[in-house]
Structure 1
């Protein structure tokens, strides 16, 4: 199925939307605006008022473990991706584990509909005219095109296997689709749904892609090799620059600031946001932000950038004039995608159907190397009742090598080790490591349990070596 070419009325409507978006670029932060973050371990969407940097509340889409293990579980699982309609009235929330897109009314914070699609969708974005929602189905080889009125899938765009994310040119002409499993980004004509261009990826793992506000460039990140690529947003879609941004490079986005148009990149392995110019690709600043920065989005006026700190369960607020973090907002567990929606709460307090944030139940553990120097590695324990999701953002390792996350009985890591997760470092010498179990009780010596210490050791679960990173101190 091909999409019909828009008529004059639709073209005028699109022009008005584009003009409205351009006007919104200079609008200051308002109390009716909202910043949303998708949190994958609490299965929530946090709602923050950017005028006060105050959490308004949480939209709960699912339950924590082990309730979500039940065969009768009906909630969403691994809430991860976010997109919003051009009019700001609808939020599209992608849940990887339950293969779904939840449509949320931003005025009431209520779920209007849930559409179930193919295996492991990742991100969803509306076309600039608001007529379609494109969802990358990363576990398959297509983009699911959904009608946001009927909520039905109306088309599938075939792509290389594992499409990671789609972003559109500001004028709505092109959709740019990177891949998480194949080294190829494709460019699609949004009107015909046909592939009209390709861009080679230096690696196969692209989690995020963004188009510059001026419509001239597209940037995508490569998490496994620690690079970010910029290419021409128009034919011939040639690569303009490949930047070494750092291990666990997560998301990229843009802001129109007093210094001009700048690109912001979250680097998990260095717990920082890096800023680059878009004219000559030179670095501007590196901002320490906290544990495992992931998604980010700028306010329309370019004065603030909001960053989800995955291992801290917080939203960091960057002042773009001083390049410093000016606020931290506690949100749900492990925020992933972040979006800023102007005018999402047009009247009242905007807190209908929201739940308060209980204790996020996360413990942040820092690691040191053998000489005592603190590493950039952070490990978080997210409470799920009596057990925890363990997530480590590990860096500073030998590339492409086997390691284990383990428990040691001694504070210096000596003695026998009990492996809890085996992993292989990526080409940048980093990794995201996950496990599930009653770990908090051991590292905090709760309920009469003997104190133990988390370590990173080379080797396999059967034959771990001497630890190379050791827990700084018991939390």
Structure 2
């Protein structure tokens, strides 16, 4: 046999090796090659949709509409969901659980048909939901209160509550199903809970209070969680005494983390919203091995069933980025709904057919204007991470979301409309906000904003205005520190 043929044979053999164990399963579980039966889901906060993507060709199948845009959802007679946000899926891959913060609900959706088969209402402002590894329970962190709502995994009715410090943020389970790890969004404490009896058996001190996301490695050795307020990622031993192993400075608006195992090893992928990047770390020595530019405000992230890709929801770009994990390059960007939050990759979600039932085209959910803000005088105070702004169309109204960075930590600011491009003149406040310890914030407003700030969108009688961020002094805006990029 010629050398070239031997080389090709070796390459073929290497490429066919299975590197088993993708989150949230066991390391011993077999990998599942990407196929048309798989689906990537994203929970979209301002269009109140769940997007459904086929990962083979990275094509949007359609969206599952759980609710209406504003102001339709302001009505006291409104029955749909509001602020579609969190997501988990069952061990048999037949059900996704979708949390809507504004309507205090968990919608259970059949992956084969995309039909909502049950809605469970829980306490104030739930955040995330996930099935236990045996599928018998669904734990829902009720962030607006002080407990995890435990639902029956088959009837979806609440069976008990686990009391935690106020503001439980997210839960994930050890792959063997022994422990549930619950981080907090209001208190600097992760609780480790015995799944068998729902008792707290350990605590881990968070280095800051605001944890939005948590992930466990398939080998059962580590738990990684993010800290959005300080821009850090913390790692602790998944086994008693649950000691902290590492604290990593990842960057402003650190959002989600997930675990990938491939031919190169096991890695944690962390979305850093304020930098528009995904950072990749080895789990053995915690070294950073890659920085991937993905687009505006990366949020949720989940690996494919074979670990060859990760999918990232881009909150201020209305898109899903697909990353090849062997090269750490973005290989596709898929248009999806407005402000994607949690993402889930579900292998073999659609065993038969094309899986298009009960989906709709993007429609209004695909209408968004994108702007950037830069520091007054050029450059950016954060060293190259501009504030991104998305104007999510809701019909006559737009929801504005700014991913603000490069500001003074723990300081009051105003996002407003100024008369002039340089920020001078009268400033009309849209939203007042306080930055976190990393000098960043997510700022929201609603109104007919696009008609004022986007060139060509105004009517003849309108005067164009310009977005600015200014420090708040004695309750009024001071001189602008960031202005709309023209």
Q: Shared topology, TM-score over 0.5?
A: yes
Show the counterpart of 2:149. 144
Separation (CA, whole Å) in 2 of partners of 1:446 and 1:45: 31
- CA distance, structure 1, for counterparts of residue 50 and residue 268 of structure 2: 25
Task: Tell me what 1:75 maps to.
Answer: 80
Match of 1:367 among 370, 373, 376: 373
1:446 to 441, 458, 478: 458
Tell me the equivalent position of 1:464. Answer: 477
CA change 1:328–1:20 in 2 (3 A) is closer
Residue deviations 1:35-91 (CA, integer Å, cap 9, x gap): 000001000000000011000000000000000000000000100000100000011
**1:373, distance to aligned residue in structure 2 (A):** 2.1
CA deviation vs aligned residue, 1:70-125 (integer Å, no higher than 9, x gap)? 00000001000001000000110100110111110100000001011111110000
Q: Say if 2:399 and 2:445, in contact at 8 Å, map to a contact too.
A: yes
**Per-residue CA shift, 1:316-371, capped at 9, x if unaligned?**
11111221111111111000000000100111111001001115221111111123
User: Pairwise mapping of residues 402-441 of structure 1 onto structure 2 (< 5 A)?
Assistant: 402-441=412-451
* Contact 2:32 2:347 (8 Å CA) reproduced: no
> Would the aligned equivalents of 1:24 and 1:301 in 2 still touch at CA under 8 Å?
no
User: 2:197 maps to which residue?
Assistant: 192
Residue 43 of structure 2: aligned partner: 38
C-alpha change, 1:451 and 1:131, in structure 2 (3 Å) is same
1:20–1:333 distance in 2 versus 1, CA, 3 Å: closer
Q: CA deviation at 1:21?
A: 5.9
Q: Distance in 2 between matches of 1:52 and 1:23?
A: 28
Q: Which residue of 2 aligns with 1:212?
A: 217
The CA deviation at 1:32 is 0.3
For residues 170 and 378 of structure 1, the distance between their equivalents in structure 2, rounded to whole angstroms, comes to 37
Contact 1:226 1:247 in 2 (8 A): yes
Unaligned runs of 5+ in 1: 1-17
Counterparts of 1:117-128 in structure 2, within 5 Å, are: 117-128=122-133
CA RMSD across the alignment: 1.6
| Counterpart contact for 1:404–1:461, Cα < 8 Å | no
CA distance in 1, matches of 2:425, 2:475: 15
Q: Which of 227, 232, 243 is equivalent to 2:232?
A: 227
Q: Structure 1's 19 and 155: CA in aligned 2 closer, same or farther, altered over 3 A?
A: closer
The one-character-per-residue Cα deviations of 1:189-247 (angstroms, maximum 9, x if unpaired) are: 11111110000011111111100111110011110011110000000100000000111
Whether the 8 Å contact between 1:24 and 1:300 is mirrored in structure 2 is: no
SS in 1 for 2:91: coil
Further displaced range: 305-314 or 372-381: 372-381
The count of residues paired between Structure 1 and Structure 2 equals: 457
